[in-house]
Each structure stands twice: as C-alpha cells, then as structure tokens.
Structure 1
C-alpha cells in the first residue's frame, strides 16, 4: 500500500506568489499529490537577535527572508484545485488572534469544500512574538491552548459562547461554518507539547530527523497516548524538508533529503517504513523557478511510487 504524498507550495523569494502558487498547485494535483501545504515564517531579524530554533549561533536559512503568508497561499491553491487537502505545516498559532484565525480557517474550509488541515505550532522566534503583539513569548503555550479551544467553539454549533484570557464571546452566531470538522494537528516534540497533542489534537506533524530518531519519537508519542487513555487514532503527517540539487550530491556530508530526486527518494523510502499516514515533501528550496519545481515534484513523485512509497 502506497503512502499518500503531499507537496509544499512555493512561498519563497524565487517564486511569484500570485502566478506560481496556482500553477504549482494545479500541476501537483494532476501529478497525483494528495495534499498541498504552506508554512509560516513572519519575519527575518537583521541583525540576528536569536539563533534558529532559539539555539545560540545557529544561522537562520536565507529562505526565511521571504515567506508568503500561509493562509493566503492556501487560498490561491484552493481556487484552482478540487481534490487535494490544504494544510499548514506549520502555522504559528499564537501569533494570531484566536477568533479571527478560527474564522479564517472556517471560511477557507467552507470555500474549498472541506479540505483544510489546521497544523499548529507554538513557534520559537522572540522577534515574531514581539511583532505580532498578541501575547508575550512566555505565554505561547497558554495562547495555543486557547486557539484550539476557540477554534472548536467557533466551528461548532451556534450560539457560540466562550470565555478565555484573550477571547470573549458572550453568545453569537458565527459563520460560515467549516464544511466538515477541521482536523487540528500539532508539531510537538517535548513533554508538555506532546501531552497537549494527546489530550486535545487530532494528529501530529513530526519533522523528519532520520528514520531511527523519527521512529523513536513516534513510539514515545504512542506510549504517552496509551498512558493517558487515548483511544482515538493519532493522524500523522511527516514533514520532509528537501534541499534539491540537479545532480547527485557527492559529498560524504550529505544532509537528510539533500541531493537529486533519486537521493531524496532514498531518504523518503527509509522514513516511509515507519508507517506514517502521509508524507509532506517540501521541495521549494533548490529549484530556481516554478517550472523547475514542477519538474522536480513530478520526478520525485514518479520515483517514489516506483520505489513502493
């Protein structure tokens, strides 16, 4: 049985968002990809005030200098597709007002015929939190909890009633409603975040870190779910961030998912054996333009299917 494959949409500087997102989305659906995804990076501090992921001295990728807003990106893709799911992997939910975010996602789901997957993360950039101004960085976990609660309330039956630290809805009709319940998936890697996922989310958005390490994380999450009495399955979408090169990468220092289509698929095969429900391949780093991205996406899809993924 093959693994459903998703594709990251073109959001970076080398792409024309208004022209290339619809073009790539339409082509990806024709190729056979079953989902399309957008991620969030709100700004690029210069000079750097903090390392990547909060790790001192770790440089931010140059790609982060230009990242199109994820929900607008998905809206462009929704308008030209009919079948593919439309997901965020991930949207930094605490950078957004909970009520407005819930309404935006509901509208996108209603407009697309029930294809949205809400992938949330808590984020790590102090500068992004300062710019968004919703709540301080230290409150990100509490804000994420409220975002999830507000989404469930707003997407549910009217009248909507909610009382939280940020959001207060006395009693109101809120529409449009999603076409079907929107799955909420979380990017979580540590104890508190994993418990939030097990208790309140529909699924998990892990990042591919190597087959052995990623499989170990999945075991930990399943064990935690059993400990906390969860019986509902945890849906999983693995994110694979690729660094495409037109010719095979020859160095011994080849990073995970770095190289030509064949090398990317080699790493894909290793991770597919873990048993995730779906794998998202973000190929936008490396191609020079949308045409090359489409060609690479077609090549990776063909080789992946030939390899049994």
Structure 2
C-alpha cells in the first residue's frame, strides 16, 4: 500500500519556501507520493458549496491564495528526487486537450517519470464560467474525450483525433512521456459517471470518502463502492481486477465525528488504534494507495504531525 500526503498549494502554507520545506520533509520521511490540488480561480467563499465537508466550506484557511497546479508540480519536481507527484485531481476541462497533454508529457519527463495524472471533471460552475470554454453541463463528456485525446497524443507518432470538443491531425507531439505507455491515470470522483470513467480508462479509482452526495465514509459504503467499480469494469470489457483503488482522507481522528449517517463508524475517526485498523481493513479490501491531509496552520506543526503519524500509525501497518 502506497501512502501519500497533500502538499498545500493554497493558503498560508503555499509560500515557496514553505512548500519546498514540506515536500522535502515528506520525501525524507519516506512517503510514497505527494498530491497537489487544482483550482484556477474561486468564487466568493462566503457562499458554501464545497462538496467534501459537512459545512460546505473549504477546510484550509485562505484557499483563494493558490498556485496553478501543473506549474507548482514542475517546481516541486525540481526540488525533489524520488517522491511521486500526483495531480489530485486535475480538472480536465480547465486546459485545452493538446496543451494539457503536452504539459503533462513535459512534466513526466522533467520529473524523471514520477507523474501520476489524477483526473476529474470538476464541480465549481463559477470557476468554469470564468476559465472553461466548453459547457459546464457537458464537463463529463469533455473529460472523457480529452482523456482519449491525451492517450492518442502520448502514444502515436502521427496522432489524429476527431471529436466534438477537440480535433487534430498532421501534428507531432514529442517527446513522449517517460512512462510507457503513459503516466498512470487515477480517476477521481464518487458518482456513477466517475466510477464508469475509472472502469473504462483508469489505472486506479481515486475517491474522497466525504462527498456528501456519494458518501464512502464507512467500511460497508466503501466496500459497496468497490463492488460497483468491479461491475462497471467488467461491463467495460476489462478485467475487474485491472483497476486499482485509492482513497483520499481529508480529515482524521478527533477532527471528524465518529458516527456516520448510516449508523456505522466513520473511517479514520477515533484513536490511533482505530485508524491503524482502518488502514489494515482498506488494505484487505485491495486499496493500494491512501493519502492524508495533515493540514496544520504552520509548516513546523504539519511536519511534526507527519512525523508523529508515520511513527504511530503508518510504520505499524
């Protein structure tokens, strides 16, 4: 099981020196990967709408102060040497397909093949209206088509593609990514379309447990979600075991109420022993990657918590 952590690219911990310090500390501790999130602009945050918290508010303070995801990943790639870099997740419609494919290929090359392309269709209409030229209501279809275009651009010497939202021919995209046939694709999202997308083209399904519309916050709920993934993968004509499963932990321990709406115990709530048991249970379900948000107000506090959690929990898995 790979264990990762979220590297803040927004808020008070997103200063250049602070990001570098946290990334280097996580790599030195032996974490397998780090993640960076993707927003270009944000709306008035006094209007709740964030889907992954009970209040509808962002977890971090001052999230409007934010670095562009892929440029930040390239910077962190230059400041590290081993740790894998996960886009968590890249909102695929934010960037034109050919440009995004080129940026990702370049990032894989510059990082020495450490890129993981986490993808999602996005959820924030206000941001779409400002950034994206394709319709918000069609973002799922746009995402599917762009990913298909990425794979053509990354693997074919003379790429050609004719779609509704992007088309190209008579071009060359070189050099190709270091990883073959292309960097791993981790498909974010918890809805039916997201599960089907993971089943069709994903190397790993990459949900967050706390989506209020599609909760995966208890062991039975997650197990049922994995069951839906396996059925969808078979329906897509792939081996049901060919798509791995990841899990993103936004809060843990005493920061979350222990009782879920289905009456069960929330995953990653409670004591260190409870959290350790959850990690072992998820490994038993076949979950192969878990990342944790260790968000703290200051870098020293976050790094100290990463050290503490690793010694108390991760090293005992």
Distance 1:27 1:259 in 2: 26
Match of 2:58 in 1: 61
Classify the secondary structure of the residue corresponding to 2:198.
helix
Cα deviation for residue 242 of structure 1 reads 2.2
Distance 1:127 1:102 in 2: 25
Distance 1:4 1:276 in 2: 9
Distance 2:68 2:275 in 1: 27
Q: Which moved more, 1:288-297 or 1:43-52?
A: 43-52
Classify the secondary structure of the residue corresponding to 1:176.
coil
Specify every segment of 5 or more residues in structure 1 that has no aligned partner in the other structure, as ranges: none
How far does the alpha carbon of each residue in 1:241-292 deviate from its partner, in whole angstroms, 9 at most, with x for none?
A: 1267xxx6697779754688777556545544432111111212xx121121
Match of 2:300 in 1: 291
Distance 2:255 2:79 in 1: 35
Taking a change above 3 Å as real, the CA distance of residues 79 and 261 of structure 1, as seen in their structure-2 partners, is farther
Match of 1:7 in 2: 5
Q: How many residues matched? A: 300
Match of 1:277 in 2: 288
Specify every segment of 5 or more residues in structure 2 that has no aligned partner in the other structure, as ranges: 210-216, 261-265
How far does the alpha carbon of each residue in 1:2-53 deviate from its partner, in whole angstroms, 9 at most, with x for none?
A: x221111122311143112222111111101011111123333226567333
Cα deviation for residue 159 of structure 1 reads 1.9
TM-score scaled by length of structure 2? 0.84
Q: Determine which of 42, 45, 50 is the counterpart of 1:44.
A: 42
8 Å Cα contact 1:53-1:125 kept in structure 2: no
Q: Which moved more, 1:144-153 or 1:67-76?
A: 67-76
State the Cα RMSD in Å: 2.8
Q: Specify which structure has the bigger relative contact order, considering alpha-carbon pairs within 8 angstroms and separated by 6 or more residues.
A: 1
Cα deviation for residue 167 of structure 1 reads 2.4
Cα deviation for residue 176 of structure 1 reads 2.6
Taking a change above 3 Å as real, the CA distance of residues 164 and 226 of structure 1, as seen in their structure-2 partners, is closer
TM-score scaled by length of structure 1? 0.86
Q: Which moved more, 1:141-150 or 1:184-193?
A: 184-193
